[in-house]
């Protein structure tokens, strides 16, 4: 009985030692990650301004927006047609500052916000168009958003349903291919969801 207790104490002591070493390693890794982050952030804050006039800005062709439902989503899209947009999903502010300079962050964030509003408005307006029986208009608008690598699941599923109803399963596969190129964690969820629309 004493031997069993002694063995247990030795095993327990070894466990505590291993646990302590593991915790220390994890703490060390965490501290290193934090140090690296703040060093990168420091460098980013001193990065010089770059010329951003030649970036591939996204715009909304006004002819892609049907002007007959007069909803809030339609109005948002019309207003955004006069604005520059950038899809910066998956890119951190630190990366933006390092690449384009800290002085450009506010402007770049504005273009990214415009794109986010565009994606939300397309999702809403396309659903409104489908409900109003204007499927072709909804399709054109959704295809534009997909070409800009929007990452809203509803955009892809609404478009997939349109293709499904039209018997165009090949286009659903094209949608899956497009979704796989999205630069956010939504990519996997969208591609998995689209699989259910295939015949």
Could you tell me the mean pLDDT of each successive run of 10 residues in the chain, 199 residues long? Answer: 65 74 68 64 76 94 92 97 94 91 94 97 97 96 96 96 94 95 92 93
Q: Helix, strand, or coil here: 85?
A: strand
Q: How far apart are CA 193 and CA 138, in angstroms?
A: 20
The torsion region of residue 82 among left (phi > 0), alpha (psi -120 to 50) and beta comes to alpha
Tokens 């934090």 label which residue? 34
Phi, psi of 58 (to 5 degrees): -100, 145
pLDDT, residue 19, reads: 72
Whole-model pTM: value is 0.79
Give the DSSP per-residue string, 108-168: HHHHHHHHHHHHHHHHHHHHHHHHTT-HHHHHHHHHHHHHTT---HHHHHHHHHHHHHTT-
Q: How far apart are CA 48 and CA 160, in angstroms?
A: 44
């Amino acid at each position: 009985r004493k031997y069993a207790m002694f063995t247990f104490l030795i095993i327990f002591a070894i466990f505590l030692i291993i646990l302590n070493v593991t915790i220390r390693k994890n703490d060390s890794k965490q501290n290193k990650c934090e140090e690296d982050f703040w060093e990168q952030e420091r460098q980013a804050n001193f990065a010089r301004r770059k010329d951003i006039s030649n970036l591939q800005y996204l715009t909304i062709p006004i002819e892609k927006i049907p002007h007959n439902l007069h909803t809030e989503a339609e109005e948002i899209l019309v207003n955004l047609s006069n604005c520059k947009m950038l899809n910066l999903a998956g890119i951190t502010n630190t990366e933006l500052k390092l690449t384009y300079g800290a002085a450009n962050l506010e402007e770049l964030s504005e273009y990214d916000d415009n794109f986010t509003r565009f994606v939300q408005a397309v999702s809403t307006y396309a659903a409104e168009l489908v409900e109003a029986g204007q499927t072709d208009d909804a399709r054109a608008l959704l295809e534009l958003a997909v070409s800009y690598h929007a990452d809203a699941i509803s955009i892809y599923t609404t478009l997939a349903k349109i293709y499904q109803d039209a018997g165009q399963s090949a286009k659903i596969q094209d949608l899956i291919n497009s979704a796989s190129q999205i630069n956010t964690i939504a990519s996997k969820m969208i591609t998995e969801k689209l699989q259910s629309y295939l015949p």
